């Protein structure tokens, strides 16, 4: 199984962060906005393309990072083995209107701004709530290790 590279961003706005809602039969979960990197595409170019597709922001948001790297590996016994390397950047949406946030990505079922203290009750993939509650802009890059994907 070849690892897949996924770029995403912690997008802050007014002390909260933007997450994208996804659904699978009988399950709802949340992701940082982002997606896969195409062959020959830089990480930052892929991030900007994915942000345009997932949240409709098509100007290049200044990003810092990467701020974290996560291995998400499905259990060996799972039906569809998967290994995703998440490369996480950060950006600030303060001063922008989020009324225009929309998705052209069929997998995204909505968006929501979350306060840090709301993340405990959220099914987040990968499960990086603890990191998000402590992370501050300017922190060094963190390798969060191998987190088992559900």
Distance CA 137, CA 18 (A): 16
Distance CA 47, CA 60 (A): 9
Of 33, 11, 7, the closest CA to residue 94 belongs to 11
The residue written with tokens 């996804």 in the block is: 22
Instruction: Tell me the pTM.
Output: 0.85
Going from N- to C-terminal start, the domains of the chain cover 4-148
Domain 4-148: homologous superfamily in CATH: Nucleoside Triphosphate Pyrophosphohydrolase (3.90.79.10)
Buried b (16+ CB within 10 A) or exposed e, 26-54: eeebbbbbbbebeeeeeeeebbbbbbbbb
Looking at residue 80, its pLDDT comes to: 67
pLDDT in tens, 71-101: 888 766 656 678 899 999 999 887 766 665 6
């Amino acid at each position: 199984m070849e690892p897949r590279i996924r770029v995403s961003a912690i997008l802050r706005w007014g002390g909260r962060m933007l997450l994208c809602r996804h659904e699978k039969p009988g399950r709802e979960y949340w992701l940082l906005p982002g997606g896969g990197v195409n062959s020959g595409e830089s990480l930052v170019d892929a991030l900007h393309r994915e942000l345009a597709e997932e949240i409709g922001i098509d100007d290049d948001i200044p990003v810092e990072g990467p701020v974290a790297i996560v291995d998400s590996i499905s259990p060996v016994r799972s039906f569809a083995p998967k290994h995703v390397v998440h490369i996480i950047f950060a950006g600030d949406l303060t001063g922008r209107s989020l009324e225009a946030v929309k998705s052209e990505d069929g997998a995204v079922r909505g968006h929501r701004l979350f306060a840090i203290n709301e993340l405990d009750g959220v099914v987040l993939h990968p499960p990086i709530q603890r990191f998000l509650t402590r992370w501050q802009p300017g922190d060094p890059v963190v390798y969060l290790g191998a987190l088992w994907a559900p």
